Amino acid sequence: MASRGRACAAAGYWPLAAPYHSQGEPFASMVDVLCNHDLMDFPSFHADGKRKNKLVELYHIFSYLGSSLGNILQYQRTLNPSDQNLHSKLSSSVGTMRGILSNVFCHLCNKYHVGHMDVAPVSDTSAMSTFENKRLGCRLLGKYKQVITELAQAF
């Protein structure tokens, strides 16, 4: 699984962050400050935990990422209705997250007899301003870049 994780990170989804560099000011000059990876409700991961616990945490992380990317996709369809390239990349990433979730759940079910996973909902962003939605999306992608490396090394 480690080689697949590294392959995902290498082929990764970080190119999705490129639109945030082109969003204009203040993103163009302050992307590192505005897009720090501090997401209060992001699921935790303990690389030194037991394999089953790491897989459960992995499931929670990819559930969070998939839901968050789905929210970003919906928002981008409104904000940038003609940017089919971005929509396609986001949609592909959402599909990939769903596939990973399915694979992790099947492994948990087959090896550890886990039949159900409770997942916390992702925060509703519909009342957020355009700036805050852009910032949240940028922060999520930064967090993804950080966590995918950690996950690849743990497995």
pLDDT digits (tens, 9 = 90+) for 134-154: 888 888 888 888 898 899 999
87 phi and psi, to 5 degrees?
Answer: -60, -40
* pLDDT score for 7: 36
- Ordered by where they begin, the domains of the chain are 2-154 (1.20.1250.10)
Residue 125 pLDDT > 80, yes or no? yes
* pLDDT score for 11: 39
Contact 106, 127 (CB under 8 A): no
Q: DSSP readout, 22-49?
A: TS-TTHHHHHHHHT----TTPPP--TTS
As a whole number, mean pLDDT of residues 27-39 equals: 69
pLDDT band of 38, cuts 50, 70, 90: confident
CB atoms under 10 Å from CB of 103, counted, come to: 14
pLDDT digits (tens, 9 = 90+) for 60-117: 999 999 999 999 899 889 888 999 999 999 999 999 999 999 999 999 999 999 989 9
* pLDDT score for 35: 75
